[in-house]
Amino acid sequence: MTERKNGGTPPWAAAVRQGQQNHRFDDSIVGHPPTVLSRVQRLASLPWLASWMQQLKSENKSIHTVRSYLISAKGLASATLPGEPNLSDSAIEHMNVQIMHKRIDPNNGRIDVWMQSLSHLAPSTVHARLAGATHLLKWLGYHIPDHIVRPKKGKHLPRPLEPDELTRLRAVAQISENPLANVVVTVLLQTGLRVSELCTLDDRDVNVHTLSARVSSGKGDKDRMVMFSGSGAEVIGCWRRHRNGRRTCDRDAFLVNSRGNRLTSRNVQKLMDRLADDSDIPRSRLSPHTLRHNFATGLLNGGADIVSIQKLMGHTNITATRVYLDVTDPALREVYNRAQANELEELLSRERDAGTEDVAEVESVEDADQISIDPAELA
């Protein structure tokens, strides 16, 4: 334990008063020197960015995760302490591992300056930035300091399309002049694919005979099988006939644009925007991920168990699948309807009982009138 000085005052407090918060506290104050992993020592003279990217690749991080982590790492590394000059992106990227190890030491206050620059961002974005910084720090032998507070995220439930919106979308997709419209909407609704998985789908992986498709190198570099129905097979067959008549540059791709190139995520979203306009659905309400939500809620409404849905959607953690239970759970709906029916039946029963009592009272009065004695008879 660090020895106290100055009449019981912690040494770090005195260091703050002397302005040492602008650089790394002495080892006597922190209590131990910075831990340098053998990995850092071995890669000390190599560029940190290329070395770290190789680590992310070995962990099978998705393209989107790598992009998010890269933004976080560059943001943290480029944060400047008082008196430091601003560094260009090129200068930061070409730092070696040893210099980067010293630069982002959590004890020098750089991470605090960086966190302040994130204060205007949404909580979910801050969490994403911290995830990237945490990975980089851990790779270099550090940990996120305990005083770093993560903002609380609100609970936002998925918003699938309403039944009437879904009906309009299907109708518009079927009559669209764009031959991609019907096949994209149908495949997304029947398989629950992510848009990246849809675009990377190869034609040989879609089997209309077994009514299934093989997703290779999905999120987390995992393979899985998805299924579609007979109606989906018909739509796929129609698309393939059209595809074979197109000039195809990428012969492996299942979906190609008008130029014959493999479809991109941006192509799909532009298609969603046009379909949204034609279906009288706000553009903000329609995306490939929205149709993935509809796939999950449709399975739940049909009575599918949560583990099967997890496998079909390609979720690593079942917690990601359980969120749909908050949207639509057939079991909860059945309990709710039964409770409402019981309450209504009880109310009607009370009303019937009250009506019976009124009738009985009336009948008792009439009976009393019938058996009343005429005074003339007594005379």
> Do 213 and 207 meet the contact criterion of CB atoms below 8 Å apart?
yes
Select which of 289, 293, 336, 338 is catalytic.
289
Catalytic residue among 61, 194, 243, 293: 194
Among 101, 110, 243, 324, which one carries the catalytic annotation? 324
Q: Which of 101, 243, 262, 315 is catalytic?
A: 315
Task: Please name the residues in contact with 132: beta carbons below 8 A apart, sequence gap of 6 or more.
Answer: 68, 69, 70, 71, 72, 73
Cα–Cα distance for residue pair 352/35, rounded to 1 Å: 80
Q: Any catalytic annotation for residue 194?
A: yes
Question: Is 219 annotated as catalytic?
Answer: yes
Q: Which sign does the torsion angle of CA 246, 250, 254, 259 carry?
A: negative
Q: What angle do CA 68, 285, 258 make, to 5 degrees?
A: 75
Which of 89, 286, 33 shows the shortest CA–CA distance to 181? 286
Cβ atoms within 10 A of the Cβ of 54, count? Answer: 12
DSSP type of residue 102: H
Q: CA 169 to CA 238: how far, in whole Å?
A: 19
Catalytic residue list contains 324? yes
In the chain, alpha helices (H): 11-17, 27-30, 38-42, 48-58, 63-78, 89-93, 97-103, 110-117, 123-139, 163-175, 179-191, 195-199, 230-244, 265-279, 288-301, 306-313, 318-322, 330-370, 375-378
Task: Quickly count: other Cβ atoms within 10 Å of residue 43's Cβ.
Answer: 22
Is the distance from CB of 123 to CB of 72 less than 8 angstroms? no
Adjacent-strand bridge partners of 226: 213
Among 129, 262, 292, 293, the one annotated catalytic: 292
Token pair belonging to 342: 């019981």
**What three-state secondary structure class fits 262?**
strand
Q: Is 292 a catalytic residue?
A: yes
Catalytic residue among 219, 243, 262, 293: 219
DSSP 222-261: --EEEE--HHHHHHHHHHHHHHHTS--S-TTBSSB-TTSP
Catalytic residue set: 194, 219, 289, 292, 315, 324
